[in-house]
Amino acid sequence: MGTTVPLQMTVNGQAVDAEVEPRLLLVHFIRDTVGLTGTHIGCDTSNCGACTCHVDGESVKSCTLLAVQAAGSEVTTIEGMSGTGELHPLQEGFWAEHGLQCGYCTPGMIMAAADLIQRHGPGPLTDEEVRKGLEGNLCRCTGYQNIVKAVQAAAEAMGKVPA
């Protein structure tokens, strides 16, 4: 390991204090330093979105960011989505609608979808909006149809009903 720098951030509400290489990717920081392995790695090129988490409330592909770029930020991972033990409406939606098979892309899908729902104004999310909104997240198992249904069900549960 080369030179290290101090790094502080908040991950799922917990303060994290570490010494890291400046080149360390945020996804490796989350997985190896903090020990939260629900955030996955599926490519080298920021195409697949398996590593998607939230940095200060916005969805980010954590393989695209150096850990030090998230200094002082609040990071939320899939493990932080059901903090109180209750499933998040997206987790419930993916379960109810069979929106996952192998589950590898699922945490990233859920984090990206949470941001998509968040950014969407009132009114239902259309099929096309969900599909377009999740273009940055690849799934090889499901053919996406049940992911779309899961996100729409979650959006409805989160109050995105017709205005």
Judge whether 61 and 51 are in contact, CB under 8 Å: yes
Q: Is the dihedral of CA 139, 145, 149, 151 positive or negative?
A: positive
DSSP helix/strand/coil, 38: coil
CB count, 10 Å around CB of 121?
6
Go through the chain and tell me how many residues it has.
163
Binding of other proteins by 79 (CB under 8 A): yes
* Contact set for other proteins, span 26-65 (CB under 8 A): 28, 31-32, 36-45, 47-48, 50
* Residue 130 · residue 93 · CB < 8 Å: no
Residue among 64, 101, 115, 156 that touches other proteins (CB under 8 A):
101
Closest contact distance (angstroms) between CB of 127 and other proteins is 7
- String marking each residue 124-153 x if it binds other proteins according to CB under 8 A: ---x--xxx-xxxxxxxxxxxxxxx-----
Residues of the shown chain interacting with other proteins in the complex, contacts defined by CB under 8 A? 1, 21, 23-24, 28, 31-32, 36-45, 47-48, 50, 77-79, 81-82, 87, 91, 94-96, 98, 100-107, 110, 127, 130-132, 134-148
